[in-house]
Amino acid sequence: MAPATLGSEARLSLAAFLLGASVVVLPLLTRSGLQARTVLALYVAALNALLLLLYRPPPRYQIAIRACFLGFVFGCGLLLSFSQSSWSHFGWYMCSLSLFHYSEYLVTAVNNPKSLSLDSFLLNHSLEYTVAAVSSWIEFTVENYFWPEMKQLTWLSVTGLLMVIFGECLRKAAMFTAGSNFNHVVQNEKSETHTLVTSGVYAWCRHPSYVGWFYWSIGTQVMLCNPICGVAYALTVWRFFRDRTEEEEISLIHFFGEEYLDYKKKVPTGLPFIKGVKVEL
């Protein structure tokens, strides 16, 4: 993909994201006497019409509608975060979730445009991912209805927020450091430009993007004060990355041989109680 095309897609997605995030101005409109539901319906309809007008070719519209939706969720999360309700911490979660998915696309567009696609938003990651997300929403809603005080543990939510920020920053640092070597899909064939990255955050741990996602995902449940999903996420995500790490390291050993084995001996995975694939000598 040519640099000009890359810049176009990155700018397109950013403009659409900010357009969706402009939902934060809706409270100003409702103060003028208009009903909130009417304003919201008109706003959503106007957004879609504007996207269709500005990004008429279907591929551009598909990018724009996804980025705009994530911006809309981010904006709604901001409004909820500053509300005086028991749902304020869920607003933090909405901001974290939407920003994670959008930044995955944006960083890929900047960093590795050859692998860029609609899947780079990770919105259709897997059925298991969707079930896990919906389960956390259900748990928060039920517990907030019956035990609202349970969702007002600000110190715990702040701890979760710090975990989310740490995880997000580490993952994006890994993506930028790896450059074109980073891909959302485990590669089974080595490309001509594929090199072993051992500098930056990769000098601290072998799989910083996985470590970042690991703590980000668990942090979202700590933020929501979800005890059931908190434990379930920790166990499920740990098992997922244990298997994913072994799968990836088999490919890396095949690609780089002794170079990777030496690196593997010196640098840990970064994931708790996960050592990576075992190598028989």
Instruction: Answer whether residue 11 is part of any domain.
Output: yes
257 & 139 share domain: yes
pTM of the model: 0.92
Domain identity same for 81 and 152 = no
Question: How would you write the pLDDT of the chain (281 residues) with one tens digit per residue?
Answer: 344 345 788 999 999 999 999 999 888 766 655 677 778 888 889 999 999 998 887 889 999 999 999 999 999 999 999 988 899 999 999 999 999 999 999 999 999 888 899 999 999 888 999 999 999 999 999 999 999 999 999 999 999 999 999 999 999 999 999 998 898 887 777 777 789 999 999 999 999 999 999 999 999 999 999 999 999 999 999 999 999 999 999 999 999 999 999 999 999 999 999 999 987 65
Length of the chain in terms of residues written: 281
* Number of domains observed in the structure of the chain: 2
The answer to whether residues 209 and 235 belong to one domain is yes
DSSP helix/strand/coil, 39: helix
Same-domain check for residues 156 and 101: no
Residues 106 and 233 in one domain: no
Residues 6+ apart with CB under 8 A from 189: none
CA angle 112, 183, 215 (to 5 degrees): 115
156 and 250 in one domain?
yes
Q: 261 and 144, same structural domain?
A: yes
- Residue 146 to residue 190: CA distance in whole angstroms: 53
Q: How far apart are CA 182 and CA 87, in angstroms?
A: 36
Domain end (from 106, 124, 142): 124
| Residues 101 and 61 occupy one common structural domain | yes
End-of-domain residue from the set 71, 90, 124: 124
Q: Tell me, what CATH number does 173's domain have?
A: 1.20.120.1630
Domain that holds residue 36: 1-124
Residues 199 and 70 both lie in one domain: no
Residue 280 forms part of a structural domain: no
Looking at the fold, whether 52 and 140 belong to one and the same domain comes out as no
- Cα 183 to Cα 16, 18, 78, 191, 254, distances in angstroms: 24, 26, 31, 12, 17
